A and B are shown apart, each in its own frame.
Chain A
């Protein structure tokens, strides 16, 4: 088992290298000259040249990469050209917001998705099954921005129960923090819940038709134990994979949803950075999210090992 984990960790090195090169070069393929953007109204070639020099933009691309990656290892992701703050500081500021939103959305998605998936598998072909599938499909196909606007209309404008937008840190005021994030978390969570429901349902159907479930029933175990212990444990694998992937996507920021609810998270940060050709910020944010994504995949693999004893030997 340790060997397996070691192998997976070793695989991370080339993957991360490739990702970093990709991020760095994509950046340079984007149209637009950042030095020009920074110079703004200033069109003096001397100033522009100076800006180029200051940010290393006059160096050959490979040199720029080495400079950049060297700094990354020391935790220096460069400085935002627009905001004049270190990128790492921006990330440290925004990451907890996105993390909180992602965790809450994932809780919504897993609770709703797994429960609905199991229920529809157990009650296959019944009214329950049909209703859950229709609602699930609706959840998948409803655009986030529409659902978000509808929720704001209902809970913020009409009922006045929740604030329409804004964000409060949970360390400041937990209750208000939850009030500001519950709607966006719900919007993000329901979309994922539909997908998780579909996968849970099919994995559960397969498990429930298996011979070991018949054995469990032949032992006189109650349906509750048969479903939640014997079938669930084996149906977990696809749910783990999907959960990890969706969580990774959530962490890269929910651009539209953050915009609608004015949540100052990764999504907003990256959009602003792209529009302003703020190279360093885009690179930093993408690097952090890509790394997180890869690490989550690793965690999903470790999850398999825990769920599946055949991998454990």
Chain B
């Protein structure tokens, strides 16, 4: 990590209390950071707290019944201490987000042009006409054919891939310093996925925007990320640069995730599934959360391990890391 991080999340914890009084710890002691121009992948299965983490950075979690602690430092300011008003000024300007569902994330009642112009006019002191020019420019930059004509289209006329491009154009219209992409390609066909990832990579090169890419797909991580944080049951269990993570995963859960990836360079065997199920987050276990499913479990796993360094630039939340010696 060369430059000072643009975003650094420290010890973030999010607890939801339901109307029945049940408290669910969705995110627990999550820390990570990302530097300008870099892409951080946050990986994990559904329900592990990835999306909650990203929504708390955006300040978009519901206010009622949500308790957040820790620090979210963006450009040196702690977003958890900022007023709603100054958060609104940041959102869509310095800080932008795209979502998993391109089909429903655009308002069906307004043209895509309107929706992009709205974002620009909100944050820049320019007129609608100028903003409209800028919007067409953005549509062109996300490689939408005939951008001037598409400007007047309603979302229902566009395919999923095109809509996600519009979402990206909208998010990048004010040149944010950080883009959070929450499963941006999950709802798209594989060929379209590759196009969108390629587009995001190209735009990052052009603009120097940092990207936090939330995904459950290790293939996507391998393709675009520089660093990775692996999440399990609301915690970051491993952090590493992407090549190292794939070469030597240092947490048993990461090992398990990779085991469930199909490989062409090995004999065809049954894909390894991780036995057991994710713990109930309204009553999380006291010790390591992965212990119940872990093949390397030892008695010490009854107490919770910290996220500890296991090498230069990387850390893992496991008593048995580094794992290399175990394999021997």
Q: Using a CB–CB distance below 8 Å, which chain A residues touch chain B?
A: 125, 210-212, 214-222, 230, 233-234, 307-310, 312-313
Contacts and interface: CB of A to CB of B under 8 A. Distances in A.
B97 A218 contact: yes
Contacts of A233: 107, 109-110
B154 A218 contact: no
B60 A218 contact: yes
A215 B64 CA distance: 20
A48 B88 CA distance: 82
A218 B109 contact: no
Contact of B122 (A220, A230, A310, A313): A220
Nearest to A233: B109
Interface stretch (B98-106, B127-135, B240-248, B286-294): B98-106
A307 B104 CA distance: 17
Nearest to A309: B154
8 contacts: A211-B101, A212-B108, A215-B106, A221-B88, A221-B92, A233-B109, A307-B109, A308-B108
B318 interface: no
Nearest to B65: A125
Given A217-B91, A219-B92, A234-B108, 12 more contacts: A125-B19, A215-B106, A218-B58, A218-B60, A218-B91, A220-B88, A221-B88, A221-B92, A221-B118, A308-B109, A309-B108, A310-B108
Contacts of B108: 212, 234, 308-310
Interface residues of B, number: 33
B106 A219 contact: no
A308 B154 CA distance: 10
Nearest to B102: A211
B156 interface: yes
A29 to B, nearest CB: 47
Contacts of B91: 217-220
Interface string B112-154: 0001001100110000000000000000000000000000001
Contact of B89 (A214, A220, A310): A220
Contacts of A215: 99, 105-107, 115, 167, 170
A-B CB proximity, top 9 nearest: A220-B92, A219-B92, A220-B91, A212-B107, A211-B104, A309-B154, A233-B109, A219-B119, A211-B105
B218 interface: no
B90 interface: yes
Contact of B104 (A210, A310, A312): A210
A312 B110 CA distance: 12
B212 interface: no
